[in-house]
């Protein structure tokens, strides 16, 4: 797994918006508007992901990010101690503004995979 720098909008605390905009190839401001001010709320972003063709996959729960191989379009919710982060992973490439060293030891909470039938 490797990281490709991606930071569509340099706003602090908006990893949910950045991840979803990358995964769906949608404009950052459109996704931010769609999600509303409570975009970090699990129910809000999960509902949006499910509406846009993602399915939840808990099989990798508690695995370290550096040890997984994700094909297709995925959004990964992970944590390292008290830091929670969401990132887009496409064909085993993480699109994020953090480096691999900052992300590699994060534990996966949930993977959201884009259902292939719903890909453009």
Q: Each residue of 70-115: pLDDT tens digit? A: 999 999 999 999 999 999 999 999 999 999 999 999 999 999 999 8
- Is 64 within 8 Å of 107 (Cβ atoms)? yes
- Over residues 4-60, the pLDDT tens digits come to 999 877 778 899 999 999 999 999 999 999 999 999 999 999 999 999 999 999 999
At 117 the pLDDT is 60
At 118 the pLDDT is 52
Query: Tell me, what DSSP letter sits at residue 41?
Result: S
How many other CB atoms sit within 10 Å of the CB of residue 86?
21
- Is 69 within 8 Å of 77 (Cβ atoms)? no
Question: Residue 25 and residue 38: Cα distance in Å, rounded?
Answer: 21
């Amino acid at each position: 797994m490797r990281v490709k720098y991606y930071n569509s909008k340099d706003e602090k605390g908006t990893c949910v918006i950045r991840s979803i905009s990358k995964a769906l190839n949608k404009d950052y401001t459109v996704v931010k508007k769609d999600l509303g001010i409570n975009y970090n709320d699990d129910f809000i972003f999960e509902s949006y992901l499910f509406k846009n063709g993602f399915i939840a996959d808990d099989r990798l729960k508690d695995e370290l990010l550096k040890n997984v191989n994700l094909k297709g379009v995925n959004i990964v919710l992970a944590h390292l101690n008290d830091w929670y982060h969401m990132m887009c992973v496409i064909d085993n490439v993480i699109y994020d503004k953090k480096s691999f060293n900052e992300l590699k030891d994060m534990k996966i909470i949930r993977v959201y995979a884009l259902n292939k039938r719903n890909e453009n």
